[in-house]
Structure formats: C-alpha cells, structure tokens
Structure 1
Amino acid sequence: MRLNETELKRFDEDGYLFFPGKFTPAEAAMLKREAETVYATDRKEVWRESSGVARTAFAAHTYNEGFRRLGAHPRLIEPVRQLLGGEVYMHQYKVNAKAAFDGDVWQWHQDYGTWKRDDEMPEPRAMNIAVFLDDVTAANGPLLFIPGSHKAGVVAAGHDLATTSYPLWTLDRATVTELAERGGCVAPTGPAGSMLMFSSLLVHASPPNISPFGRTIVYLSLCEVENHIRAFRREPWIAHRDFTPITPLADDCLDELVAGQAVAAE
C-alpha cells in the first residue's frame, strides 16, 4: 500500500490519515478474539486499570501469532516506510483496550515526547499506525487529535505518574487549549478494521469510556532504523531493543488464522 500525493499532502498538513475499513471484518474479528486471549493471561506485559480490566498489552507480537503477523503486515509497514523514507523497526507494540464502563483516560500527550525523554530517540522519525478491532464511536472513548499540532515540535510536558497506571509525559491545559484554538479537535471514528496513522509529534488523548461498549485498538510504533533509541531505561517489552528492519509479509498473511478460527468455531 502506497500513499498518493493527496494523502501525503493531507498528512503533512494534519499530521494523521484515516482509512475506514482498511482491514476486513473477518480480519478484525479474528484479531479481537486474539486480544481477548491475550488479556486473559497473567503476564507482566498486560497492564490493568484499577478496576482490574485490561488497559494495554505490550509486545503482543512476541507471544501471539496473530499479532506477530499484523506487526509485519504490508498495509501497515509500507506507508510508514514511505513517509519515514527508510526501513523501520518496532519500537513499541500495544493492544489498547477501553473496557465498557471502566476504560480510563489517556491524557493529552505527544508520543515522541516520551520516546525522546525516556528512550533518547534522536529525532521524531517515528510514528504510530493503528487498527480498530471494534467499531469506534463517539461514545466509547475514541482517540482525540489536534490537527496540525505536529508542526509545533516537541512541546513542554510534565511527567504524570499518578493519573493512570501508565506513566506519561503530559501537556497542561493551557498548552492544549492554545493548540486546539489553532487546529481544532477531531475524533476519528469508524468500523472495526479501520486504520489510522499519525505523527509521533501529533498531540492526542482519549477520554474515559463510560459507555456499555468496549473498544480495542492495536498500535504499532515504528521507528526508522538509523533513528533507534539510545537509552534503555524502560523494560525491553515496552521500548524494544531489536532494531532489525521489519520485512513485510504477504497481504493475505492473516487469512490462514481467520480460516483456522472459523473451523474451530464449527
């Protein structure tokens, strides 16, 4: 999958692109079942909300076959390589849940802010690309983006160690307000299988999910290989230390697993 000139221009202006239904309902449903399997395990990589429900599963591509294949899917890897202008490695892999009623907030932040301060990633030659495993609606805690905020560079932030179970370098209200007054605020919503890609400098957040409908999104944080991290303070399953370029699989790499789940359900 390659981005066309219109998409490249939009990414430059807004800092993100949204592709509704880029993966099939069957592919998304298979991965959702894999996510539920991962969340049910007792692993250090699975972090939970104070209520006990899953918040995020780190590095699922290292212990789950479905997420391993998704982590090398050409629909994800190829457009990121195009935008970053080189080979990429997996800096971070998260399967994030917003459980019905109990899904907590992700505060306003830039991902590169954390990668720079905690991991000493030299430059923001990295980005996120994500796949919705559920329908994401206005009601169940969608991502919130401030379009164009990636052009502000690295914004001053404070290290929030208290709000949630995940420490994060977060922006204060005055900064978020100033950026939003310039760029507005949007919430990309769409069906399971939709795909998002966004700059590591884009300011974003997500609200709590108090609806009765959960939502799960898989995030690949991909970094250009020469721009790999220099510090190793965080656990290797949070900030990966294998800088091997990802070799994309075939576009139908998920089909076998979709078919296997279908047979098992019969």
Structure 2
Amino acid sequence: MSIIDSHPTLDDAYPTRKSGEAALLYRQDPVVYGRAEDGQIDAETLAGYEANGYLNVQRLLEPGEVDVYRAELDRLAGDETILADERTVTERGTREVRSIFEVHKLSDVFARLVRDPRVVGRARQILGSDVYVHQSRVNYKPGFKGKDFYWHSDFETWHAEDGMPRMRAVSISIALTENFVHNGGLMIMPGSHKTFVSCVGETPADHYKESLVGQEVGTPDPNSLSILADKHGIELFTGPAGSATMFDCNCMHGSNGNITPFPRSNVFIVFNSVENTCVKPFSAPSPRPSFIGARDFTPVA
C-alpha cells in the first residue's frame, strides 16, 4: 500500500486497474466549483460539502410528491415490458428488481424530477456549470431480500469504464421510503472524497453485466478501506421519505443488506458537468452501454 502524490496528465490523472498494487492518490480537482450566490445552497452548507463530500436536504420533496414517485416506482417494478428491458437489473438468481437504469427516459414522472430546480439547480451550483445526466436509476431494496452494495467510489468506475476524465460530478439520492438505521441506509466515509483509491484487477469485456449485480473488479481493497475508515469514520444516513443526500463522485460509500420488513427504495441521479464529458475509457476495452454511462451530453433544460 502506498500513498502517492499523483501528477495529472492529459491522459490519465487517476490511474486505476493498471497495477498489481493498490494505491491512495491525492485528489487533483476542486470539490465545489460554484458560489453561494449562484444558487440555493448557502455558504455554510457549501463549506460542509467541500470538507465532508456531502450535504443533506431533510425535506426536498413534500409528502404528496413522494406518493406520486412511489406509485411510479411500483408501476415500473410491475411492468413486464420494463422487467424484460436490459435496463432492469434483478438480484442474482431471482426476479426481484435491484435497479432500473435510465429511469428518466423510461418515465415522464422521473424525467420531471430530473429537471426540477430543487434537484438540478443544486447540481449546477456545486459543479459551477450546466450539467447533463450521466446516469439515473431507481434502487429497490425490499424488506427481507434486499442485498448490499459494497464499498466503492463511483468515480473509480466512471473513470475506468465510462471515460469520465475528472472529479466534477455529483450524485443525489432521494429517499422514497424512510431510511432507518437498520434497513440498509447509505453509509459514507466523510472526507474520503479527497483520496482516490487506485484499484487492482483488469476490467473484463462486458464487465457491467456482473458488476451491476455484485461488483468485484474496481472495488477497493480492505487495507485501503481500513485506512480511510480509521481516518474519516463512517456516517450512516437516516431520514424520512422525501429527504435527500447529495454527494461527491469520489465519496467512499456503500450500504448493508436489508433483512428487516421495511423496504428502502430511492431514486439516484448523477449529474456531470458539460465541461467534463466522457472520453474513451481509461481502464476498460470499451465504454459501458449508454443507459449506464451516458454518451449524450445535452444539458438538462
């Protein structure tokens, strides 16, 4: 294990899956590109986002809005056409829905959510530019059967397999069911976004088919995770349906499985800066399908 002060080049500022040894690399990019006067996030909250890598909105959606989105969530999960679509990922060995990708193109209801100023406005403010949707999905974590999402940095995968050059993307996870401490809520290591974990292992062709069910290549090694957890600790997010967490693309995060009777479902949208559009993958034979990593960089209206 080594801690390396990497020097960015035009080719690859964050090398990963290219060595037999894991490494911790210093972040080379800003975290916040905009200012408090640019939008609805105040200066104190922006400073907290810069330091910790995330911010919380306790009531992004009103209860009536949550009902609309939850009904749409149920409709999608029960639609046989959607279930047969390649954008739908089921739990290994079952027909239980794990995720539905590109949901803003499958559903007018979720398309409106993506364009909502409360959502896209915050993303534009953090990233300091117009933004496009790099990825959208709904995640289902049903009671008793919901599987875990292992620790990972999204940027590592987006960089390696989608060709995202720099750390200038933000994710928003909006709860459509209540997040308890016991039903598999989001965990983040605060401050971990300032360290990039360079992973080992070569990316096989069509890796996404396996990684969406359970990722192995591109996951951080136990030693790196231990170093980050010892330094930063772990924050577990709870909150009512309608609450939201926005977090930096390089935050180390994950979630436990759900063996409680209480489902945990959310809509997840990734906004990338139009000044950070994806190029050829840095550590994969070819880009993932566009429904996972968009190649259409049209700004959100």
TM score, norm. by length of structure 1: 0.88
- Counterpart residue type for residue 181 of structure 1: D
Q: Does 1:52 align with 2:100?
A: no
1:104, 1:164 within 8 Å by CA — same for their partners in 2?
no
Instruction: Name the SS for the 2:111 alignment partner.
Output: helix
Alignment of 1:67-146 (within 5 A): 67-146=110-189
1:221 maps to what in 2?
270
Aligned match of 1:203 in 252, 261, 265? 252
Q: Which consecutive unaligned segments of at least 5 residues does structure 2 have?
A: 1-38, 281-285
Greater shift in the superposed pair: 112-121 or 17-26? 17-26
2:226 maps to what in 1?
177
Shift of 1:164: 6.4
Deviations 1:219-266 (A, max 9, x none): 11010012111136211111112101111xxxxxxxxxxxxxxxxxxx
How many positions carry a matched residue from both structures?
246
Deviations 1:71-116 (A, max 9, x none): 1111111111111110000000010111111111111100100010
Aligned match of 1:8 in 46, 49, 64? 46
- Counterpart residue type for residue 230 of structure 2: E
Shift of 1:56: 0.4
1:156 maps to what in 2?
198
Distance 2:250 2:63 in 1: 30
Deviations 1:8-62 (A, max 9, x none): 1100111000111221111112101101111223222111102321100001110
- Counterpart residue type for residue 214 of structure 1: P
2:33 maps to what in 1?
none
Instruction: Name the SS for the 2:236 alignment partner.
Output: coil
Distance 2:259 2:214 in 1: 19
Distance 1:191 1:135 in 2: 4
Greater shift in the superposed pair: 166-175 or 111-120? 166-175
CA spacing shift, 1:163–1:116, aligned 2, 3 Å: closer
- Counterpart residue type for residue 135 of structure 2: Q
1:142, 1:188 within 8 Å by CA — same for their partners in 2?
yes
Instruction: Name the SS for the 2:138 alignment partner.
Output: strand
Distance 2:91 2:163 in 1: 28
1:40 maps to what in 2?
78
Shift of 1:167: 3.7
| RMSD, matched Cα | 1.6
Distance 1:75 1:61 in 2: 16
2:89, 2:212 within 8 Å by CA — same for their partners in 1?
no
1:136, 1:215 within 8 Å by CA — same for their partners in 2?
yes
Distance 2:232 2:251 in 1: 11
Distance 1:238 1:201 in 2: 17
1:165 maps to what in 2?
213
Shift of 1:175: 1.1
Identity, % of aligned pairs? Answer: 33
